Amino acid sequence: MALSGIQIYKMLPQTNCKDCGYPTCLAFAMKLAAKQVELDLCPHVSEESKAQLAESATPPQRLITLKANGNEVKAGNEVVLFRHEKTYYNMPGLFVRIKDDLLADAIKEKVAAADTYSTNYVGIDLVLDGFAVEAVSGSSASFSAAVAAVRAASKKPVILIAQDAGVMAEGLKVLDGEAPLIFGAGAENWEAMADLATQYKAPLTVTGNTLDELADLVEKVKGKGIEDIVLAPATRSLHGELTTRVLIWRLAIKKNFRSLGYPVISVAGDAGDPAKEMVSAAQAISKYAGFVVIDSFAPDFVYPLIVLRQNIYTDPQKPIQVQPGLYEINNPKPTDPVLVTTNFSITYFSVANEIEGSGLPAWLLVADAEGMSVLTAWAAGKFDAERIAKSVKAFDVASKATNRTIVLPGHVAVLSGELEEELPDWNVRVGPREAVDIPAFMKQAMT
């Protein structure tokens, strides 16, 4: 049975030395109880305590890290079934697959386009995580050349896919010193693949048709000293993949079944059709994949996937925020109005985009509401007349917007009287309730 934080604390040195990175032993114990850290972070714990704490100190799902040239992609280390129970810690890595039957120039062109792809979403730059190189030619030379071409065009982490250990070895030689994911260990070749994983200190993917096969192969691989493992269920139907991932996750998280306590990789590119590939990738992101491999790369294909991933794997306890301050939109003059909103990123970008789209200049005052939306912040007492007035003074708005016209969001019109008392020299107006109505409001009421 898992130990509580207090029970774990009693087994720690209780010196509060901070060597683990936490301010107190109790804080570290609580993290251990939540399975969010490894016991190895404490250099002073006794061997006896280590043995007793082994079960509670290890997260139900092992953390797997792919490394290359200072870049990392992490999967696993999750402790809950659903995000609202606590949070998810590592979003699934998105990898574009490259097959070794392509010419080197074609590989470099595709990799370069995907490597530089970036899109800004609510103030966050979203990118792809790496590349998967698959040996389809059967040639060691072609595979190593393809890996070299990928590495020449990108420094991001790599997944190597091959069934033949000899072919895999040639690809690994190109990436010596990195930690790529070795994908290809099955019932017939697991020993040779495990030897390569040991030699190159790389995580290893194991494949099985059933959960029993996967669990059995995991134990065999662990017997060879391999601890960093990724699961690759052989099923390829949408229903089969979903069911298998859910069962693996539930067995690891709820039953603490160590043989399946590892991230899962999903090869959405095997769907064979871009539309089906999109559905498969979206399903994998939504339900428990640690790594997702896609074939198609185009901005309109990738964008919905990385936005979906960002939305699901955002910590619900830590809203995405923008920096409070006074923002200039469309080169405002001192005579232009000041619109007010909160620092919740989605609210900010909704308002800012509508103002920018209207073509009319304005100042946008972003008040610190601890990352909450307008109504939520108002209800929580984090967005009131006093806070807005403090923001006006803190950012010296009066010296920049000399006409002193300030516009409140329509949802908090009730604050207008109080804000007039806080800012007696200002003309307080009430704007629309929805951001989409801001352009019409500005054209009709503010010009």
CA dist 212 and 381 (Å) reads 54
- Looking at residue 220, its amino acid is K
Over residues 123-163, the pLDDT tens digits come to 789 999 999 999 999 999 999 999 999 999 999 999 999 99
Q: What is the pLDDT of residue 50?
A: 84
How many angstroms separate the CA atoms of 310 and 126, rounded? Answer: 8
- Is pLDDT larger for residue 55 or for residue 19? 19
Q: Per DSSP, which regions of 53-193 are E strands?
A: 64-68, 71-75, 93-99, 118-121, 124-127, 130-134, 158-161, 181-185
339 near 365, Cβ under 8 Å? Answer: yes
**Pairing assessment for the beta strands 71-75 and 181-185 based on DSSP bridges:** unpaired
Read off the pLDDT of residues 272-313 as tens digits, 9 standing for 90 and up.
899 999 999 999 999 999 999 999 999 999 999 999 999 999
Contact 275, 234 (CB under 8 A): no
Identify whether the C-beta of residue 129 lies closer than 8 Å to the C-beta of residue 156: yes
Residue 383 corresponds to which tokens in the numbers above? 């967005």
> Looking at residue 55, what is its pLDDT?
63
Q: Are 150 and 133 a contacting pair, CB within 8 Å?
A: yes
Q: Is 380 helix (H, G, I), strand (E, B) or coil?
A: coil
Predicted pLDDT of residue 119: 94
pLDDT band at 317 (very low <50, low <70, confident <90, very high): confident
pLDDT at residue 179, rounded to an integer: 96
Q: What is the pLDDT of residue 83?
A: 87
Domains of the chain: 5-57 (1.10.15.40), 64-312 (3.20.20.20), 325-445 (3.40.50.11600)
Query: Which run of H or of E encompasses 445?
Result: helix 438-445
Alpha-carbon gap, residue 105 to 150, rounded angstroms: 10
Residue 344's DSSP bridge partners are 321
DSSP, res 270 = G
Nearest to 409 by CA among 366, 362, 374: 374
Phi, psi of 226 (to 5 degrees): -90, 125
Alpha-helix residue ranges (DSSP H) falling in 20-164: 25-33, 47-57, 104-116, 140-153
Question: Residue 315: pLDDT band by 50, 70, 90 thresholds?
Answer: confident
Q: Which amino acid is at 5?
A: G
pLDDT of 385 over the 70 cut:
yes
pTM for the full predicted model: 0.80
Nearest residue to 326 via CA among 312, 339, 317, 313:
339
Contact status, residue 195 vs residue 174, Cβ threshold 8 Å: no
Residue 2 pLDDT more than 90? no
Contacts of 103 (CB under 8 A, 6+ apart): none
Which H, E and C letters describe 236-298, residue by residue?
Answer: CCHHHHHHHHHHHHHHHHCCCCHHHCCCEEEEHHHHCCHHHHHHHHHHHHHCCCCEEEECCCC
**pLDDT score recorded for residue 56:** 62
| Structure-block tokens of residue 2 | 């898992």
Give the CA distances from residue 367 to residues 1, 335, 376, 424, in Å, rounded to whole numbers and listed in that order: 47, 21, 14, 19
Helices (H) and strands (E) counted in the chain, each on its own, are 16, 17
Query: Helix, strand, or coil here: 160?
Result: strand
